[in-house]
Structure 1
Amino acid sequence: MTRRRARRLLLGALAYTAALLVALVFLYPYWWMLVGAFRRTRDVLSNPLRLVPEQIDFGVFGEIARIGGVDLWVYGVNSLLITSASTAVSVAITALGAYALVRRPTLPGFKLLRAGFLVTIMYPYMLLLIPVYVVMFKLGLLGTYAGIILFLALGPIQFFLFEQFFRAIPPAVIEAALIDGASEVTILTRIVMPMAAPVVATVTLITFLLNWSQWFPILVISRASDTYTLPVALLSMNTELGSNFQGIMALAVLTTLPPAILFVIAQKRVMAGMAQGAVKG
């Protein structure tokens, strides 16, 4: 074995060891939460660092089947409905807006609109809730699914991901389609969007994950618990169940499991889409 090969093997082993340590650091909290969902509260308090449950206890899931007078499955359906709808609206609006800005950058107000999107990225979104609350009140959308979906559909980050990809498309592709007599709608639907499939998948997943975890806007806009989602139910559970540590961990697992599974399945496509969306034209 040459010295160069030995050095390469050593560096590879060190890299894998470092990656394993980083993975353990990120996975440990979730594993601890998962174990806590099956451990009784008194066992957790007596030995909080234990990583294997003394016994698997499923009884806690019956205790959390109804929170705040609403069945747990209602919160789950609300999460899926609100997240899916707001994601679809956000992807559609930001894709169309970004394409219009790239194709017609000289239209009046477009530069101001782009600057507005940039400001909203730097501006804490929680501070936007006051004017949004007033607008929702004027429109009669407080406490409705439509109001929650419209607020969560705001997507400045998604807009810039689409914009960067559309700018990277060679102008010759669009010009050739125009010469062949294709309309803007045809170009968008049959040429641009199929090319942007990885970015669309990335934006969709990012938006879904972000919207799934939102709780404060939903808590503000909702007027009753029948429009709450799982993260809001988790917040309410801290008050209702008090020191029921096991119940809180069980609901936390149910809340975080769907997006975690989705991300693991789609992570390769997300990385590819992020790389394409970051390309400058």
Structure 2
Amino acid sequence: MAMTFELISEHASFGGVQRFHRHDSAEIGLPMRFALFLPPGGARAVKGLVVFLAGLTCNEETFTMKAGAQRKAAELGLALLMPDTSPRGDAVSALPGATASWDFGVGAGFYLDATQAPWSTHWRMESYLMRELIPQVQKALALDATKTGIAGHSMGGHGALTLALRHPGAFASVSAIAPIAAPSRCPWGVKAFTGYLGEDRDAWPAHDASALIQAQKGAPYPNGILVDQGLADKFLVEQLYPEALESACAAIGQPLTLRRHEGYDHGYYFIATVIDDHLAHHARQLIG
């Protein structure tokens, strides 16, 4: 397999290979990193690609090293693509507010294109993923682009849902774990949207999964969306709003499997518990 990305490291994993890469991003205007898992047999054996978007404070290593997803992905013949969550480096850490309590500069890309200065220069995560990284990986691996799914956790769950809804046809399957389902309503989302998109709240619903679902004329994913939520999650009531997503899906007839789990929190013990189900969900829709 010939790739155009710089290889940082690679590691054998469940008969496949886990790689970490770096490349210069035209959309971000800075170097970016990502992780890529290939199942046994390499690129030629890939039956489908799942993009997994991580949450606040995370990077390309977090899900890759903590979720234990490689075992099931190897079994199913799935490749896994784990992008970083935001721009990084001296060019962004020096921005006003980048080291404030919110810390926009670390793991808070929110998977959108910022329209407000100073963030609009580099915070172009939606364009980076949709126009650059995902298509380049698909091309480098000679993958069938129609067999790509997207998933994510927390802020990444927000990203997975919104990108799947904003780009019809780009993904054949979608799922989320403890997603920020209605960011226009929660403190995390309000702060991010105000900083990145501005004070005009009319611009916010275009990046809010519950609002995007509500605006659909029919079910965009008739084969169903899978969401898992822990009921011991300390962010559940104030930040996540799964009930808003549930109501929006019900209103338009979008099949949604929303599983609520007693005793589980927001962390990676929960993600590791449900990740096999999410990969199986994607395999059913991508592979059949």
* Superposition TM-score tier, normalisation by shorter sequence: under 0.3
- TM-score, structure 2 as length reference: 0.24
Structure with the bigger percentage of helix = 1
Bigger fraction of residues in strand:
2
TM-score normalised by structure 1 residue count: 0.24
